[in-house]
Amino acid sequence: MTEIQPYAVVSQHDGFEVRLYPQHLLAEVDVDGEFFEAGNRGFRPLIGYISGNNAGKSKVAMTAPVIQAAAGERYTVSFVLPSGMDAASAPIPTGAGVRTRVVPAGRVAARRFSGGADEARYAANAAQLVAEVKRAGLTIIGGPYFARYDPPWKPGFLRRNEALLRLAD
Residues in the chain: 169
The pLDDT value given to residue 79: 97
The pLDDT value given to residue 128: 98
pLDDT tens per residue across span 106-164: 999 999 999 887 899 999 999 999 999 999 999 999 999 999 999 888 898 899 999 99
Rounded CA separation 19/110 (Å): 7
pLDDT tens per residue across span 16-35: 999 999 999 999 999 999 99
Any alpha helices (H) in the chain, and if so which ranges? 35-50, 119-135
Residue 168 has pLDDT above 80, yes or no: yes
The pLDDT value given to residue 117: 72
The pLDDT value given to residue 7: 98
| Residue 17, strand partner residues | 12, 110
Q: How much is the average pLDDT of 45-60?
A: 97
Residue 166 has pLDDT above 80, yes or no: yes
pLDDT tens per residue across span 68-100: 999 888 999 999 999 999 999 999 999 889 999
Q: State whether residue 67 is helix, strand or coil.
A: strand
Residues 112/162, Cβ–Cβ less than 8 Å:
yes
Query: Whole-model pTM?
Result: 0.94
Q: Domains of the chain, with CATH numbers?
A: 23-104 (3.20.80.10), 107-169 (no CATH)
The pLDDT value given to residue 116: 80
The pLDDT value given to residue 73: 83
Among 8-12, 60-64, 151-155, which stretch is predicted with the lowest mean pLDDT?
A: 151-155
Buried b (16+ CB within 10 A) or exposed e, 85-107: beeeebbebebeebebeebeeeb
